[in-house]
Amino acid sequence: MHKHVEKYSWLIFDADNTLFDYNKAEKIALLKTLDDFEIPYQHDSIIGIYHIINHRLWKQLETGEIKSQEEIKYTRTQQLFKILKVDRNITLFAEDYLFNLSQNGQLLDNALSVIETLAQNHQLLLMTNGMTMVQKPRFAASPLSHHFKHIIISEEIKHSKPSKEIFDHAFRLMKQPEKNHVLMIGDSLGSDIQGGSNYGIDTVWYNPNKDNVPHNATYEVHDLMRFIS
């Protein structure tokens, strides 16, 4: 894969579950928030339950069924409370969860060394569909972030992947490079790969679980180290 990467001058990276370990951050933040509100839960199942709720809502944002990240923030809390059969202040819980999430910016294995190496010969842009109040503290505290020329948080520009508008914004920041000089890298077939493909740029599907599903990515990798070795 690293030989293919050499021909691109700009690399656009997704953040969560491509470079940042969002699953770990989500788990730590959710358990702390449940404890903060003294909500009982089954430890062996709560993470899976919440992940399904959250993943479904973000997919609905990608397809336009949900119109804003604000809607996700409160709807996922409502659905979680319904399953747990608890009555707490939805707004306070949602805000506390986001704060706890913003304090967890763990990286995936080898993410930092890969980005440090790539930054020597490429210009890098980070593009995330995450929420501003979560992502800004995580990025600011990360040793990875200063390697990126630009960081785009969808909530700040009011457009999310896979929309054309977020890629238009990226290309303006990059001073309009030729599309064949730009590579989009991410773990989501719906937002990262479809967004890049729709925009006419090459894509890499980061698929660490080796999911066997049809896709239209230009390349597929199972290990971040493939970008540099």
Tallying the residues shown for the chain, one arrives at: 229
Tokens of 91: 């707004």
- Nearest-CA neighbor of 218 among 12, 59, 16? 12
Set 14, 187, 192, 202: catalytic member: 14
Contact 152, 173 (CB under 8 A): yes
Looking up tokens 């925009």 gives: 199
**Per-residue tokens: 62:** 């990608």
Which tokens belong to 3? 């030989």
Cis, peptide link before residue 162, omega less than 30° from 0: yes
Residue pair 192/184 in contact (Cβ under 8 Å)? The answer is yes
Instruction: Return d(Cα 147, Cα 115) in angstroms, integer.
Output: 7
- Host H or E run for residue 166: helix 164-173
| Neighbour tally for 169: CB within 10 Å | 19
Contact 221, 227 (CB under 8 A): yes
Contact (CB, 8 A) for 19 and 145? no
Alpha-carbon gap, residue 154 to 138, rounded angstroms: 15
| 192 included as an active-site residue | no
Catalytic sites, residue numbers: 14
